[in-house]
Amino acid sequence: MRISFNWLRELVEIKQTPEELAHTLTMAGFEVEDIEDRRTWADGVVIAKVLQREQHPNADKLSVCTVDVGGEETLNIVCGASNVRADIYVPVATKGTYLPNIDLKIKPTKLRGVPSNGMICSLKELGLPTDIDGIHIFTQENLTVGSDVRPFLGLEDVILDVTATANRADALSMVGIAREVAALTGGKLSIPQTEAVKIDNGTGNLPKKIDLKISENKACPAYIGTVVEQIKIALSPEWLQQKLNAAGIRPINNVVDITNYVLLEWGQPLHAFDQEKLKSVAGGDKLIVGVRFAETGETLKTLDGQTRNLSTQNLLITANNKPVALAGVMGGEETEVDQTTTSLVLEAALFDSVAIRRSSRGVGLRSEASGRYERGVNKAELEIACHRALSLFQELANGVIVQQEIADTRPDPATWTHSIVLRLDKINELLGPVDLGIETGELQAADVERILTALGCELTDQNDRTWTVKVPPYRYRDLEREIDLIEEIARLYGYDNFVDTLPEKTEAGYLSLDQELLRKIRAYLRAEGLTELIQYSLVKPGEDRQIVLNNPLFAEYSALRTDLIAGLIDAFQYNLEQGNGALNGFEIGRIFWQEEEGLDEAEMLAGIMGGDTTLGKWSRGGREQPMTWFEAKGILENVLGRFGLQVEFQPENRDSRLHPGRTASLWLGGNRLGTFGQVHPQIRKEKDLPDAVYVFQISLDTLLNALDNDDLLIPKFKAYSTYPASDRDIAFFAPVNLTVSELEKVITKTGKGLLESVEVFDEYRGENVPAGQRSLAFRLVYRASDRTLTENEVEPVHNKVREALVEKFGVSLRS
């Protein structure tokens, strides 16, 4: 935003130079991109009077002028402008003057043989915009020849090009910048006080000029429509034109200029419609001004002369439901104010920032109004801006206010501000020590109170170095939390006033136990040939206890995943379809679900295995051999075994995606660890997967809690026997539903003391085996640490094991 230094001084006391103020604003987070010193544009240019004008003897388009510049002698100046004549006051650049905008230094010269000792200037040559093709002619009265032209052209000013951050919507106005300067420098504010204008609504028997119909209250929470009649369109006064020129806005006429002036002063966009043109578009004298979204196929010709194709995301202002303006972006050409306007409808409204942003982008059009609405216009000062414009209409355009209609769905004004608890200890903890010159210190309560009070906040001391801070309405969008207030304190106190040295002593970084264990888990899984996968946490909706998003990006990703297995199966299928072969991989990620008492989440470890890992190798002649259940189970056991964990597998049939006879739950010390199993044949057939694909899912929290044990984490030496072992085999028929793990438990418990290991080495089902049973064979290894075992020592223990199996499970011994 272009900030006029002179205009700013009308609103706030400034004792700094423009350069000093630019530095202050930049250090406070408002980058000043450029300083435009207009005083240099006409340094040496004076007001002069053309005493005589004669035709140049050697050129038809040149004039020879005798000009009084206030000196002892008049000057002879050759001028090429068609509008030069005698008895007019003009700006003249005298000898030695440098005009930076045209890079010209004035010096005596001859033009077609006639001496010229200066230059009569146009506004363009002085850097000012103009529609006049020729020299500038002063219309003011009582001008003094030889005086400086800069006060009459608004060139005694310096323009600061200030960029405000996206969160500071309040800084897109002169009043907002003035408040900021006052807080930074301590200058006194002089914000204009606007009183509510008197509205003459007549006797009450006359019909209303306008009615309001706001169909989209969320997109337009407040709309004020005011009818102003007996308007006299004219050029704006010089002071108003100069302020608009300084801001980079071209003056048009007094009505349009007033709306732009209030936009710059208060940051509130306004728009004036020609009332008669509105009636013409509406098709009758009864005028209903509305706000609605466009319908597909509608068009609107905007003030820039372009016809816009509208969509359902464009918010419109309508007259009897016919589009007349893009709400918050730009007005329509059909209803613009021009030289024929005698009555108008002034719009002062609040529009939703999201709705305006979408509408603006939808038609590829940005304006001064849309830029402010997108960041958020202050809802507390809507009426102030409206009455400011109406009072200027009365003053500068002789307007008579005859009716005002208001549609207001804003919340109670008491909610337009809010309070935040602020702690001094938290401020110093986050910002650190401040530089006090010789030594360092911390921010004091007085510093905090001074800074926040200067920003317009109201502080209530709660003792114990704590305040309740009431935020002013114009900062409601960016001061929401304690950290926002702390940022403001740092910004206004000055970032350069805080100590910039690091602490004297730093500590080396380290990994937490969980981080170390996770790295080991990943390394062990990779060592088993599994590749780590990373997948989206967002999935399709439709599962039980699923958490569905309120604002999803896509319908296909509108819910949070409840497990990792589904994603792994899809990834396996995708790799097959892409010709990458079977995928052996694992993933560590979060899952989410709904409980009766609320939402819950957990960290999980899951994996998928299948296919033939040796496919194409010479050892099998290129013939594919699917992975067996025991091979897949062995991969998981190897990883867990690296940590010294003894995991128990128990039959289970809870997950319909897994094979009912080849699924097991995993248990660790009485706690359920997870699930391991083969993918159900039906799913394998639907997704065209290999004959055998296996998945597992483990609770990472349960696993890490079990590993948080010094007995497991710290390796301990265990003495080994130097004496030979004695092994025995035992074979028997056992029921099919009797698990090997149950048998191993009984064998280990019975042979405790001498038994070193137990291993199943054979299983047979078929001929000569009773129905419902299977033949199992175990190898038992006995060993002592201090001697070589004899037959008399081993046999009694081995017989006890045989007897225990018969007694406990009723097995039929074969050997």
User: Residue positions in the annotated binding site?
Assistant: 478, 484, 487-488
Whole-angstrom distance, CA of residue 789 vs CA of residue 784: 7
Whole-angstrom distance, CA of residue 515 vs CA of residue 521: 10
For residue 200, the one-letter residue type is D
Residue 659 falls in which region: left (phi positive, over 0), alpha (psi -120 to 50) or beta: beta
Whole-angstrom distance, CA of residue 174 vs CA of residue 266: 7
Q: Which of 743, 746, 755, 747 is nearest to 793 (CA)?
A: 755
For the record, the structure tokens of 102 come out as 């045209």
Element (H, E) at 809: helix 791-809
What string of DSSP letters covers 220-284?
Answer: -SEEEEEEEES----PPPHHHHHHHHHTT-----HHHHHHHHHHHHHS--EEEEEHHHHHHHHTS
Whole-angstrom distance, CA of residue 147 vs CA of residue 809: 120
Helix axes 700-707 and 513-527, enclosed angle (nearest 10): 110
How far apart, in Å, are the Cα atoms of 573 and each of 132, 591, 613? 74, 21, 16
Whole-angstrom distance, CA of residue 643 vs CA of residue 636: 12
Q: What end-to-end distance do the CA atoms of the chain give, in Å?
A: 97
Residue 194 CB partners (closer than 8 Å, separation 6+): 384, 387, 388, 391
User: How crowded is residue 546: how many other Cβ atoms within 10 Å of its Cβ?
Assistant: 17
Which DSSP category does 497 fall into? G
The count of C-alpha atoms lying within 13 angstroms of the C-alpha of 248, restricted to the half-sphere facing its C-beta, is 10
How far apart, in Å, are the Cα atoms of 637 and each of 520, 524, 658, 676? 15, 11, 19, 11
Whole-angstrom distance, CA of residue 585 vs CA of residue 525: 9
What string of DSSP letters covers 643-684?
Answer: TT--PEEEE----TTEEEEEEEEEEETTEEEEEEEEEPHHHH
For residue 417, the one-letter residue type is T
For residue 131, the one-letter residue type is D
Residue with tokens 């067996």: 628
State the binding site for Mg(2+). Answer: 478, 484, 487-488
Residue with tokens 């706690």: 671
Whole-angstrom distance, CA of residue 181 vs CA of residue 160: 13
Classify the C-alpha dihedral 673-678-683-687 as positive or negative: positive
Whole-angstrom distance, CA of residue 329 vs CA of residue 362: 11
Residue 752 CB partners (closer than 8 Å, separation 6+): none
For residue 493, the Cα-to-chain-centroid distance in whole angstroms is 27
Helix axes 368-375 and 254-266, enclosed angle (nearest 10): 30
Whole-angstrom distance, CA of residue 710 vs CA of residue 366: 65
| CB 807 within 8 Å of CB 757 | no
User: How crowded is residue 197: how many other Cβ atoms within 10 Å of its Cβ?
Assistant: 19
Q: Which of 743, 753, 810, 752 is nearest to 786 (CA)?
A: 753
What pairing do the DSSP bridges indicate for beta strands 434-435 and 531-532?
unpaired
